[in-house]
Structure 1
């Protein structure tokens, strides 16, 4: 049984290294959007290149995060976590030294692989190391510090872009890794799943990532309208079908499809896709809108979006407690509608927009909607399956959210009619941004309708700290991921509740 106490020196070191590791990935996912206009200017990159700068990272992370959790279970969580931190830092160094857009995109892909290795291990190390009596407090502190990191991320990114330059958005990860790795090797005990049986679903992971990559490429490059793009889109759909076929046939799949027999789990994941598609599209375009159209500096643009994360950090626990009392259906119905109203208010953010009169009301209302829905969303996912499958359910939900954001960043500029050079023209970008916000708001309304029609009213009853105290706006909180093969055996026959 894990026996590290929170008050011990070792306990504090474990908490520090896991916070440092998760903060690297969380900071990177929140600060890059602020740097996009300057990256495009310095590297002479068009809008497609900026989309790939975001999506190359998300693609690798979403496609491999379930496999990363399994690797930690099999070969040791500390070992895979440390490898992930070193990998992430090395890729960050390459990003910071990138001479052109193509090199940066390739480095971002490698960075996503590192993120897939370290992200599941961060929380899993806490759950595997601390005494059960101290585990909830440790996870709560980890979540709280992570939320603070997410809150300061856009501000820090803006300061770096306006000061030392956008390359330091990536180079900052190197000293963090140099601090994190020695602490992990010295103070964090190794842990893993003793059963360690079954084979890795490498084919399933490859097909899933390939499907996402091909569909993303087709959406980003669809402006060409060539036969090659059409063939790529068809191939992406075919790879997705092949992924489903493989997962059905394998005895130890990466994503056991029988988990979707829970109607509640399926419904909440559909809501997740709608919510995080809107989130991904909004945060990709909002930082550009504020800088390109409204004339904000990178620091001002990053700070402008800060209230959203602060609201989540301060009030998610109360939202989760309320959902425990009234059930998830109302929060998951009302929350997306409130956030949609916030996105409609963003239509007022144009040239020379006033922060107090135009930006703040939109960001505040948008954040209130997220506060209402994020904690109940995570809690309902974990409550909708057998407890033995909580890690798997959370991993699938996290991957679904990241994939939704990936597709949104690829598709929104196409749906809004943005040209490759739109972000260089304030008038053209402003017009397309308005259309994009309507698409995002509509997606949230669809999510609300799905929740109202399908989510059951039974309370989720999830008071886990990772459900209630979380400031990230890029993905749902991630429950500790445990062995896929073991869970596939233990979780048969879970209820739908």
Structure 2
């Protein structure tokens, strides 16, 4: 990765784009596994613990498209670096929190910062590297995200077994400072010329996502038929309709309606939604399975979870290069099929106090599948749209993923509660098995959808002699 584009070393651009993503991804996962320690130290109740996680999710998902749109208008590097600075400052405040309320407020600011840096990270990377190197760059970017997923449970386990929970947040401060310096030094500025900012569209999409996520995360606790949950869900649907109507009429739409008609873009997002529903909803329970049903401590459970989560680090760069050669649709379908097979395999063999070797195979299988999905999804979504729409496309895909993950955790958590519980290992296994048998078919449905993604979507077809520095054509399917 020694080639340069407009004077920017590809490796430096990759590190500057990926380090903030790694920081945000690692922090979110570590927090989830550190909630027990936080509860004891701050005297938080169950509602507080939920909002320590949910405040981040709601702010993050609600502002993704808004941040992408602002990046296009005001400058992608400017908004990206503002997100790094906001996330870093909020991390410092999280670590200094003396009450659950202070921590929840700081987590919401963290979520806003993550929303500013997440979609623009991929957009800046894709625009700053030559097309022939883009597949590898996206694969390595996906591997960095996989590393955050891999190390999150392990770091959370270490915190739960003796470290001060505040270091979960304070570790972000030096990382954030370094990331900010790298971004200012090595990342190019880019923006999309536009006649104005779609303020109404931004307000509508933000309110739509916030209301929808609020209903999803509160459904299991309050009941899916609770008046507040039903009202929030209805408001989200009504606002979504209003957003679509407005986007069709405005001169400067936040998300151009024509994107919905691009087959590769739409089908890839549907497949991504199904994966995050089934897989991330299941991981939420499987991370606890090793402790509750198998008797491992938090650190030992985190180490064993890496059998699943380390695989994307290995597979994603290879999948990124293959996407450039053959397209992403078939890779996404194969990855989802492997993930569904892994979930069904665990459901078929899960038992209390069983040897870890009995579920090692399905965890590795599902992890390989995850690696086959991450990089092709990013590549296909970007290749399906115009270069000036990369920020919005990345923001839309990330929003879909957040919706899918939140909905999967809520729905599969409800299935778990209906068929099992924490009373004893067998009841816990019963609940997990029931949830996995719901999640696996959803992932299979995503694999079927991925088969209809146009062949070659996301691939790069060389149209120039070897050694020429011009960019090859990109299939937009």
Matching residue of 1:333: 333
1:319 Cα offset (Å): 3.6
1:276 Cα offset (Å): 1.3
Cα separation, partners in 2 of 1:365 and 1:168, compared to 1, 3 Å: same
Matching residue of 1:6: 9
Is the Cα–Cα contact under 8 Å of residues 154 and 303 in structure 2 kept in the other structure? yes
1:297 aligns with 2:293: no
Q: How many angstroms apart in 2 are the aligned matches of 1:343 and 1:446?
A: 14
Q: How many angstroms apart in 2 are the aligned matches of 1:404 and 1:307?
A: 23
Is the Cα–Cα contact under 8 Å of residues 207 and 242 in structure 1 kept in the other structure? no
Is the Cα–Cα contact under 8 Å of residues 338 and 368 in structure 2 kept in the other structure? yes
Is the Cα–Cα contact under 8 Å of residues 59 and 212 in structure 1 kept in the other structure? no
SS at match of 2:34: helix
Q: How many angstroms apart in 1 are the aligned matches of 2:321 and 2:127?
A: 26
Is the Cα–Cα contact under 8 Å of residues 75 and 189 in structure 2 kept in the other structure? yes
Cα separation, partners in 2 of 1:123 and 1:380, compared to 1, 3 Å: closer
Matching residue of 1:357: 358
Matching residue of 1:236: 236
Q: State the aligned residue count.
A: 460
Q: How many angstroms apart in 2 are the aligned matches of 1:384 and 1:183?
A: 29
Matching residue of 1:118: 117
Q: How many angstroms apart in 2 are the aligned matches of 1:425 and 1:405?
A: 27
Cα separation, partners in 2 of 1:368 and 1:19, compared to 1, 3 Å: closer
Matching residue of 2:384: 384
1:27 Cα offset (Å): 1.2
Is the Cα–Cα contact under 8 Å of residues 264 and 456 in structure 1 kept in the other structure? yes
Cα separation, partners in 2 of 1:194 and 1:240, compared to 1, 3 Å: closer
Matching residue of 2:397: 397
Residue of structure 1 aligned with 2:190, choices 189, 192, 212: 192
1:198-251 deviation per Cα after TM superposition (whole angstroms, max 9, x unaligned): 114332333333332343255233438543333333223223322322323322
Is the Cα–Cα contact under 8 Å of residues 26 and 150 in structure 1 kept in the other structure? yes
1:213 aligns with 2:216: no
1:423-463 deviation per Cα after TM superposition (whole angstroms, max 9, x unaligned): 576554333222211121121122123234x3333454159
Q: How many angstroms apart in 2 are the aligned matches of 1:91 and 1:176?
A: 13
1:409 aligns with 2:409: yes
Matching residue of 2:429: 430
Cα separation, partners in 2 of 1:392 and 1:49, compared to 1, 3 Å: same
Is the Cα–Cα contact under 8 Å of residues 273 and 404 in structure 2 kept in the other structure? yes
Cα separation, partners in 2 of 1:285 and 1:38, compared to 1, 3 Å: farther
1:288 Cα offset (Å): 2.2
TM-score w.r.t. the length of structure 2 is 0.82
Matching residue of 2:166: 167
Matching residue of 1:441: 440
SS at match of 1:364: helix
Q: How many angstroms apart in 2 are the aligned matches of 1:181 and 1:275?
A: 32
Q: How many angstroms apart in 1 are the aligned matches of 2:332 and 2:49?
A: 32
SS at match of 1:333: helix
1:76-108 deviation per Cα after TM superposition (whole angstroms, max 9, x unaligned): 334323321222123223433445555544432
Matching residue of 1:87: 86
Cα separation, partners in 2 of 1:440 and 1:136, compared to 1, 3 Å: closer
Is the Cα–Cα contact under 8 Å of residues 263 and 496 in structure 1 kept in the other structure? no
SS at match of 1:295: coil
Matching residue of 1:267: 267
Matching residue of 2:369: 369
- Greater mean deviation of Cα atoms: 375-384 or 135-144: 135-144
1:85-136 deviation per Cα after TM superposition (whole angstroms, max 9, x unaligned): 2221232234334455555444322211010112234345556667899888
Is the Cα–Cα contact under 8 Å of residues 71 and 391 in structure 2 kept in the other structure? no
SS at match of 2:189: coil
Is the Cα–Cα contact under 8 Å of residues 340 and 440 in structure 2 kept in the other structure? yes
Is the Cα–Cα contact under 8 Å of residues 60 and 209 in structure 1 kept in the other structure? no
- Greater mean deviation of Cα atoms: 427-436 or 189-198: 189-198
Matching residue of 1:456: 454
Is the Cα–Cα contact under 8 Å of residues 343 and 437 in structure 1 kept in the other structure? yes
1:337 Cα offset (Å): 2.4
Matching residue of 1:177: 176
SS at match of 2:30: helix
Is the Cα–Cα contact under 8 Å of residues 86 and 177 in structure 1 kept in the other structure? yes
Matches within 5 A, 1:28-43: 28-39=27-38
SS at match of 1:23: helix
Q: How many angstroms apart in 2 are the aligned matches of 1:24 and 1:455?
A: 32
1:160 Cα offset (Å): 2.8
Aligned CA-pair RMSD: 3.7
TM-score w.r.t. the length of structure 1 is 0.79
Q: How many angstroms apart in 1 are the aligned matches of 2:413 and 2:183?
A: 42
